[in-house]
Amino acid sequence: MLVKRRHSRLIPEGAVIFERDGKDYARWALPTGRAVTRPLNRKGNRVVEESPCWYVRLRHPATNKWREWRAYRDRQASQAMEIEIIRKIERGEVGLVGRASAHGKTSIDEHLRAFEEHLEDKGSTQDHVERTLARCRWLVKNMEAKVLGDITAEGIDSALAALRRGGASVATSNGYHRAVRTFCRWLVRTKRIAENPVADLTCLKVSEADRRRRRRPLDDEELTLLLAAARRSPEPFMGLSGPDRAMLYLVAANTGLRASELASLTPESFELDADQPIVRCRAGYTKNGEEAELPLRQDMVATLREWLASKPSCESVWPGKWAKERRGAEMIRIDMTAADLDCEDDRGRVADFHALRHTFISNLARAGVHPRNAQALARHSTIDLTMNVYTHVSMNDLGRDVESLPALDMAKGDTAAESWAAATEESVAETAQPVPATSVSAELSNLASNWDSLPDHIRNVIVSLARA
């Protein structure tokens, strides 16, 4: 007989529950805008999903055990497969060949479709499923693999090397490696292959220096010019108008949200009337799988409210496939070129879409935000990642820090040497004599009275010494 596999999952956030023909249903909108309706289980707390393809389920006459074969999405094709399996059982052919050997004759495309269903069944986000399958298919195509036996460690290694020669970073190469590794582990677990062909392949080490060199943050002037150029642009990019892109860049540079997270936002994601305005990103779209709440600058609220007023509710405010197809770098490069800005600096660092996240975190550090607060706003698992990878310090920043130090009067003598000598003698004399307690008390009192006028870094040093 032909059956479809069923599984349940949690009701998506924002879904509308309604009754039809005595049954409860849930309806919600996908990030693409397409409406989805699914029935609820008996308890009414989960939605029930059906597998997109049919399965042939038969009781084997020799073993008296039920067996199941994955068929096709088309019912007629699945029925034809069922008839063929029954004929093979009657001829005694089914069960004589090992599962791994039988699967080895099936095209890789069929296995990838089953793998896709597996990822969906275990609750992976649609973005993760599509990205994993796209990477596996690229590697398979590059190796010219047709069946499972064509997947080899040498072939995968060669394909990854070709990917890096084409300009991909080591981190991107490792992402492709992890995708095919997950696929091969699933093949072994489902007994489609006997051994994992990539078990001995390891990811390449990515040095922190290499990771930092890839991207550069935008300074305030560059960001201003970028926003202005985008607003003036008459040409849309993958469905996003110039003003939409300008708002996208503004929110990205002031929240640090990633491209996929921004693409998931709807008007309901913004709470602009709260005491502290926030933007909320649902757990299914964040990198760590947790809901994110990020504060919004007060000076952005009025602009955001006016812009969101024209956006349909429950639909993405930045729709299209620009995030899924990873076209953000191309998009921002077009607008930066229009603003007469260089995408790459003299150190070989590029300003792509993810550089806006680097801009946000670097600006936090530049503003003197405590590292722990910066880590929380960046939603990083470790503070080392925040400070060593995403925080970019320029020579100008260091120069301003040096200039903020208190000035020293070295012009008391006729020459620099005399000034230094006099200062040294004075210091030695002061050291040799005990300092009266009354003098210390007076100095502390003077320090307290002038506390607010001291630079932030000086106050931080004093507090650190006091705690020590």
Spatial distance between the Cα atoms of 85 and 72, rounded to a whole number of angstroms = 14
Residue 106: other Cβ atoms inside 10 A: 14
Q: Specify the higher pLDDT residue, 38 or 34.
A: 38
Q: How many CB atoms lie within 10 A of CB 143?
A: 19
What residue segments make up the domains of the chain, in order of their start?
Answer: 2-49, 55-96, 108-206, 214-398, 417-467
User: What's the pLDDT at 338?
Assistant: 93
pLDDT at 276: 92
The CA dihedral of 305, 300, 365, 253, to the nearest 10 degrees, is 60
**pLDDT for the residue 400:** 59
Provide φ and ψ at 177, rounded to 5°.
Answer: -60, -45
pLDDT in tens, 392-408: 655 555 555 555 556 65
CA–CA dist 99, 118 (Å, integer): 18
Query: What pLDDT is attached to residue 133?
Result: 92
Indicate the pTM of the whole model. Answer: 0.51
Q: Given this model, what pLDDT does residue 444 score? A: 53
Query: Strands across the sheet with 270-271, in order?
Result: 270-271, 278-281, 292-295
Mean pLDDT of the chain: 79
Give tens-digit pLDDT for 299-338: 999 999 999 998 988 889 998 888 877 888 899 999 999 9
Of 253-262, 266-275, 404-413, least confident by mean pLDDT is: 404-413
272-304 pLDDT, tens per residue?
Answer: 998 999 999 988 788 777 888 999 999 999 999
CATH 1.10.443.10 fits 214-398, yes or no: yes
Give the ranges where 20-107 is alpha helix by DSSP (H): 75-91, 99-104
- CA distances, 158 to each of 139, 153, 201, 301, 354 (Å): 10, 9, 12, 51, 28
pLDDT tens digits, 88-117: 766 655 443 344 455 666 788 888 988 998
The whole-number average pLDDT for the span 191-204 is 83
435, pLDDT greater than 50: no
What is the model's pLDDT at position 378? 85
How confident is the model at residue 170, as a pLDDT? Answer: 84
Residue 359 has pLDDT above 70, yes or no: yes
| Confidence label for 64 from pLDDT (cuts 50, 70 and 90) | low
Q: Is 132 helix (H, G, I), strand (E, B) or coil?
A: helix
- Backbone φ, ψ for residue 20 (5° rounding): -145, 125
Assess contact for 177 and 157: CB atoms under 8 A.
no
How far is C-alpha 3 from the chain's CA centre?
37
Under the banding of pLDDT at 50, 70 and 90, the label for residue 347 is: confident
| Most confident region among 17-31, 213-227, 261-275 by mean pLDDT | 261-275
Sheet holding 16-20, edge to edge: 16-20, 23-29, 35-39
Name the phi and psi angles at 41, rounded to 5.
-75, 180
Strands 66-70, 16-20: pairing is unpaired
Mean pLDDT to the nearest integer, 260-283: 91
Q: Is the pLDDT of residue 391 over 60?
A: yes
Residue 426 confidence (pLDDT): 54
Look at residue 242 in the predicted model and tell me its pLDDT. 93
**pLDDT computed for residue 97 by the predictor:** 39
Q: What pLDDT, on a 0 to 100 scale, did the predictor assign at position 268?
A: 93
DSSP string for residues in 216-252? ----HHHHHHHHHHHHH--S-BTTB-HHHHHHHHHHH
**What 3-state class would DSSP assign to 57?**
strand
Pick from 75-84, 129-138, 369-378: least confident: 75-84
User: Quick one: three-class SS letters along 426-466?
Assistant: HHHHHHHCCCCHHHHHHHHHHHHHCHHHCCHHHHHHHHHHH
Quick count: other Cβ atoms within 10 Å of Cβ 129? 17
pLDDT at position 244: 94
| 125-150 tens-digit pLDDT | 777 888 899 999 999 998 888 888 88
**Structure tokens given for 269:** 């994601």
Q: Which of these, 143, 17, 4, lies nearest to 75 by C-alpha position?
A: 4
Please tell me the predicted confidence (pLDDT) of residue 35: 86
Residues 2 and 86 sit within 8 Å (Cβ to Cβ):
no
Q: Which residue has the higher pLDDT, 438 or 92?
A: 92
53 has a pLDDT exceeding 80: yes
CATH class of the domain comprising 108-206: mainly alpha
Query: Sorting pLDDT into bands at 50, 70 and 90, what band is 365?
Result: confident
Query: What does the DSSP 8-state code read for residue 195?
Result: S
| Stretch 435-459: mean pLDDT | 56
Average pLDDT over residues 175-184: 92
